[in-house]
């Protein structure tokens, strides 16, 4: 959500939720790929996949290639280009963490980070916090201006200031972590 806020350009006429929804889906997909770059398949599985069709069942593949069902599952997974994983699967064999655990951790951290940022900008000018909260509720700059008693161009100017404050907030956060 933070990245969506950073890169959101209200001048383009999109609502924040429309932009943020797509940005969040993209970031989640990227996270899943980075956390699990995908299975590596043995060469034999790759070669066997050339002998079957995508629409064949696992049982048909096992029978046609005269291989165990477990190997047929791998052939099918390679052929269709995906491997289905349970979110309860361990991230690594020796780890106690599951995929679900890592996703929960990311979501929890981002909401805390957003709240910290809102407190930070609220201390600079209380209306900045109101502007960001209304923007996250899909309010247009004109509607935000009416609510806080400003013209739309002033809201746009405040958003530019808020973006600069966010960069400062990130810099301070990085210094704090170091």
HEC string of 121-133 equals: HHHHCHHHHHHHH
- What are the beta bridge partners of residue 51? none
Whole-number pLDDT of residue 36 = 52
Domain boundaries, the chain: 2-36+93-177, 43-80
Whole-number pLDDT of residue 87 = 64
Count Cβ neighbours within 10 Å for each residue of 50-69 and write b for 16 or more, e otherwise.
eebeeebebeebbeeeebee
Whole-number pLDDT of residue 127 = 92
Q: Spell out, as residue ranges, where the chain has pLDDT lower than 70.
A: 1, 29-41, 82-112, 176-178
pTM over 0.75: no
Whole-number pLDDT of residue 116 = 82
């Amino acid at each position: 959500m933070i990245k969506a806020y950073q890169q959101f350009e209200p001048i383009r006429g999109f609502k924040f939720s429309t932009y943020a929804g797509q940005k969040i889906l993209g970031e989640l997909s990227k996270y899943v790929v980075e956390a699990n770059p995908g299975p590596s398949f043995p060469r034999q599985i790759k070669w066997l996949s050339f002998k079957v069709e995508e629409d064949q069942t696992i049982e048909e593949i096992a029978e046609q290639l005269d291989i165990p069902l477990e190997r047929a599952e791998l052939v099918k997974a390679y052929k269709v280009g995906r491997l289905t994983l349970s979110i309860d699967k361990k991230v690594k064999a020796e780890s106690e963490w599951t995929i679900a655990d890592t996703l929960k951790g990311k979501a929890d951290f981002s909401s805390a980070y957003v709240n910290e940022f809102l407190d930070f900008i609220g201390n600079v000018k209380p209306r900045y916090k109101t502007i960001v909260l209304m923007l996250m509720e899909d309010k247009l700059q004109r509607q935000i201006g009416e609510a806080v008693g400003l013209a739309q161009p002033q809201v746009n100017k405040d958003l530019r200031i808020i973006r600069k404050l966010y960069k400062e907030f990130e810099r301070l956060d990085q210094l704090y972590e170091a």
